[in-house]
Amino acid sequence: MDGSQQRGPVSTRPARSGAELSAAGAISPDKIAEIDRVAQRYAVAVTQDMLALIDPHDPADPIARQFVPSEAELTTAGEERSDPIGDDRLSPLKGIVHRYPDRVLLKPLHSCPVYCRFCFRREAVGPGGETLTDAEMTAALDYIRGHEEVWEVILTGGDPLQLSARRLGEIVGALDAIAHVAVIRIHTRVPVVAPDRIGDELVHALSADKAVYVVLHANHPREMTEAAARACRRITGAGIPMLAQTVLLHGVNDDPIVLEALLRTFVRHRIKPYYLHQADLAPGTAHFRTSIAAGQALMRHLRGRVSGLCQPEYVLDIPGGHGKVPVGPTYLDHGKVADWRGTVHDYPSIAKPIAAG
């Protein structure tokens, strides 16, 4: 089933239990108990837009794999950790993560419209996930005001586009008024998983004198339905540039044809691919992780087959809070350089000085 054949949503309420997923046709009734066992530990929510994309006859459906719980999540590998990228130790106060000198994360809430089964914050987010109180938001904004090295603020969470347009506009306006903040970045899945939320009022709430970027998270080309494309056009049509980030996931997009199609789809809709993330060491997610070598092979495939506009940077978030580093393939080594076909050519490793004329 592709995006043009999706079943029409019949409700606006996400499915949050095995029984609700079964009633929606996403799982068979014999899976209800398994789903509910996982739901006791990790949050479950699948929006009607995503339920409409799931092919119940395909046991390897890539949309279901991202959102429908699996008993594999209850097995934690030895290398996995509850805070895989070290947010906690880099949080000077509630709602702020300050990992890099020139930017901070601002997390106004901990709820999402859907709960990805591979989420690196799965121990912290959930339905009813708390929103910062007025006092906590004031303290977070005061922290940003007091750190003049902060050039960029990244709204994340939880999903900031879950906020009301009024509340979102207040936050964007407050950041816009801080002289040393030049860029406001918003990370979200909403345009794909709940596209009807992207109305004129919400888009208006994103307007600022400062540069505002919206970074969309999507992992499979089928997620970009016509409704999702319309939501993204509302954002880009308002003059707000969009980037995309994707998590490399076994059984979802670790296939060169699928990944190529996803990246082309982004660019066709004026969304620049930004990051391809190696899946983090979140508990119960080993069944999603590929090897870094597999990711590098995929990046080699992309190099000669899609435009530079379609090329994301393949990155690893070093466990413990040490930041992201590129882990893509290397093409230059000791005077030899490989082209995208794999053919090796000579290249001088030390440039010769130009003779004076």
Tens digits of per-residue pLDDT, 307-330?
A: 999 999 999 999 989 999 999 999
100 labelled catalytic: yes
CA dist 263 and 118 (Å) reads 20
The residue from 55, 116, 189, 213 that is catalytic is 116
Task: Quickly tell me which residue has 């390897």 as its tokens.
Answer: 60
Coil, strand, or helix at residue 251?
coil
- The residues that bridge with 277 in the sheet, in sequence order, are 247, 315
317 labelled catalytic: yes
The pLDDT score that the predictor gives to residue 5 is 45
Helix, strand and coil percent figures for the chain, each rounded to 5 = 35, 20, 45
Q: Which part of the chain is CATH 3.20.20.70? A: 88-327
The residue from 99, 107, 185, 289 that is catalytic is 99
Is 184 within 8 Å of 155 (Cβ atoms)? yes
Q: Is the pLDDT of residue 6 over 50?
A: no
Name the strand (E) or helix (H) holding 100. strand 96-100
Q: Tell which wins on pLDDT, 334 or 271.
A: 271
Is 66 within 8 Å of 49 (Cβ atoms)? no
The residue from 103, 210, 233, 270 that is catalytic is 103
β-pairing verdict for 183-188 and 332-333: unpaired
Q: List C-alpha distances in Å: 128 to 65, 83, 269, 296.
A: 24, 20, 33, 38
The residue from 117, 119, 122, 310 that is catalytic is 119
232 labelled catalytic: no
Q: What is the pLDDT of residues 214-264, one digit of tens each?
A: 999 999 999 999 999 999 999 999 999 999 999 999 999 999 999 999 999
280 labelled catalytic: yes
pLDDT > 90: what percent of the chain?
Answer: 84
Q: What are phi and psi of 323, to 5 degrees?
A: 95, 175
Among left, alpha and beta (phi > 0; psi -120 to 50; other), residue 50 is alpha
112 labelled catalytic: yes
Rg of the chain, C-alpha, whole Å: 21
β-pairing verdict for 336-338 and 344-346: antiparallel
Structure tokens at 89: 């130790």
DSSP class of 73:
G
103 labelled catalytic: yes
The residue from 65, 107, 117, 121 that is catalytic is 121
Q: What is the pLDDT of residues 152-199, one digit of tens each?
A: 999 998 999 999 999 999 999 999 999 999 999 999 999 999 999 999
99 labelled catalytic: yes
CA dist 307 and 99 (Å) reads 32
Topology adopted by domain 88-327: TIM Barrel (3.20.20)
Task: Quickly tell me which residue has 């970027």 as its tokens.
Answer: 213
The residue from 100, 167, 255, 264 that is catalytic is 100
Closest CA to 13 of 270, 207, 194, 259: 194
State pTM to two decimals.
0.92
